[in-house]
Amino acid sequence: MSVILNEVRRATYLDSIVLMRISRQIAALPGVEEAGLIIGTPANKVILRDAKILGQEGSAAEPGDLIIALRARDARAADAALLEARRLLDQPSALGTTAAIESSRTIRAALQRLPDANLALISVPGDFAVVEARKAMELGLHVMIFSDNVPIADEAALKQDARDRGLFVMGPDCGTAIIGGVPLGFANVVPTGDIGIIGASGTGIQEVSCLIARASRGITHAIGTGGRDLKAEVGAITTLMAIDALDADDRTEHIVLISKPPAASVARSVLDRVAKSAKPFTICFLGATDVALPANARSATTLKAAAELVVGEVADSAKLRLPPLNGGRLIRGLFAGGTLCSEAQIVFRQAGLAVMSNVPVPGASATTGAHDGHVLIDLGDDEFTRGRPHPMFEPGVRDAPLAEALADPGVGVVLLDIVLGYGGHPDPAGHLAAFLAGRQRRPMIVASVTGTDADPQPRETQVQTLAEAGVIVAGSNADAAEAAIAAIGAR
């Protein structure tokens, strides 16, 4: 009979990414059925309860406490897992840290330690993010909020306050930025250049900046706004401030804006500001085709198209050799990046293919084409990551749905994205290759690799690992979608 074991560490906080990495390691131990290390907020307790690993002790935890929760097949496995969780929490070096990291208990103390700092990165449970962001702003710091689950009204109020102070708030739910050449969150190592990027999408920024880098160009800054900045309730406050900043930056000669299509009133406000600039803009409102742009702007419906409008051809997958199908004629897409999933859906729609997806784009609903059978899934969506690691730093999250796709005789092509860079898994291609090893029946697998050779996981090495495992690697995410469509004879 399964055993549920909880332990609570009072008044203890660790970054959510660190906790998810530990959770992954504990869940992989022999006899462990499920595990989670998480701050004891009410919302997080619901996650643990839904995962059937919340016990009485964890239920009593306070919002500032850390809960270690696990379910194992027997008491011996549970006790061993708990001991390992304690060891990992008490020895940061066990998480792969290569150097001692000085820590401070407050933002004020951290600023005293680093008096020249001008930006605070907030990665705490959403219940606390606004309070910590306000503390940073009161100290004159710009803020990047990695945290999600912040009410949109709080986001709007926070950004209004920041604007009045002349400070940036990137986020909430801002996963990627590159400021002055420094990658923040999930970001890649790209050259310095003359292109500025403003993005409401983390993986959108990653894909475009990496395609630019692979065309031997570089960027000045990539400013993340958070996914809701262009909603009517927020009014594009950070986006407009970012346009002002890049417009005033002498090093920035071209500006790329990436977002899902905003509310009409917000789009007008943003495009009116773009029209006042003397610099050229590329506007990528993903999937939107009816945008009336000012004379200094050009429109792109996909991330690849956005990069190509700036630097010319960025990836050539026309010469890919596609073997005959070994299965049905359906495509199953399993994505780590939500915007990459959206871009693939746009490519499918442009090819006249109906597709089911949990990431709707303009002109297509989540249930469109249920009869067709093509399916694209964003595995980084909340429904898959509640209490579990994100697939960008735990590729094992994709294993179960991938196994299902490989076993489905109707599936002829599996479409994947591999996202490299800081914050990501150290060897996602190696994980996939090991998973595929020895499988007898296998449909065609087409993948894209977002990254550069300067990343902690060099792109060329990752591409080679995939190729040796029989995976067809396209030059971009959009190219991978095109190749999958071509493979089934629909292009």
Span between the terminal Cα atoms of the chain, in Å? 53
Distance of alpha carbon 419 from alpha carbon 286, whole angstroms: 19
Q: pLDDT value at position 362?
A: 55
CATH of domain 330-487: 3.40.50.261
* Strand-pair category, 219-224 with 254-259: unpaired
Contact 20, 393 (CB under 8 A): yes
CATH class of 3-95: alpha beta
Distance of alpha carbon 190 from alpha carbon 286, whole angstroms: 23
179, β-bridge pairs: 182
| Residue 97: pLDDT band with limits 50, 70, 90 | very low
CA dihedral 352, 353, 354, 356 (to 10 degrees): -140
- The least confident of 18-22, 135-139, 411-415, 423-427 is 18-22
Contact 302, 347 (CB under 8 A): yes
CA separation (Å) from 33 to 44, 81, 89? 19, 11, 20
- Global pTM? 0.87
| Residue 320: pLDDT band with limits 50, 70, 90 | confident
Residue type at 426 in one-letter notation: P
* Strand-pair category, 219-224 with 192-199: parallel
- Give ranges for CATH 3.30.70 in the chain: 3-95
Q: Render 421-464 in DSSP notation, one character per residue.
A: SBTS-S-HHHHHHHHHTT-SS--EEEEEEE--TTSSS-HHHHHH
Question: Does 293 have pLDDT greater than 90?
Answer: yes
| Residue 102: pLDDT band with limits 50, 70, 90 | low
* C-alpha 296 chain-centroid distance: 30
DSSP element (H, E) containing 159 = helix 152-165
- Give ranges for CATH 3.40.50.261 in the chain: 107-311, 330-487
The rounded radius of gyration (Å) of the Cα atoms in the chain is: 23
By the 10 Å C-beta count (0-12 exposed, 13-18 middle, 19+ buried), 307 is classed as buried
pLDDT in tens, 406-449: 999 999 999 999 999 998 899 999 999 999 998 876 899 999 99
- The least confident of 62-66, 135-139, 369-373 is 369-373
Going by C-alpha positions, the residue among 464, 448, 198 that lies closest to residue 333 is: 448
Residue type at 257 in one-letter notation: L
Assigned superfamily of 107-311: Succinyl-CoA synthetase domains (3.40.50.261)
By the 10 Å C-beta count (0-12 exposed, 13-18 middle, 19+ buried), 340 is classed as buried
Q: pLDDT value at position 318?
A: 61
Contact 170, 223 (CB under 8 A): yes
By the 10 Å C-beta count (0-12 exposed, 13-18 middle, 19+ buried), 83 is classed as exposed
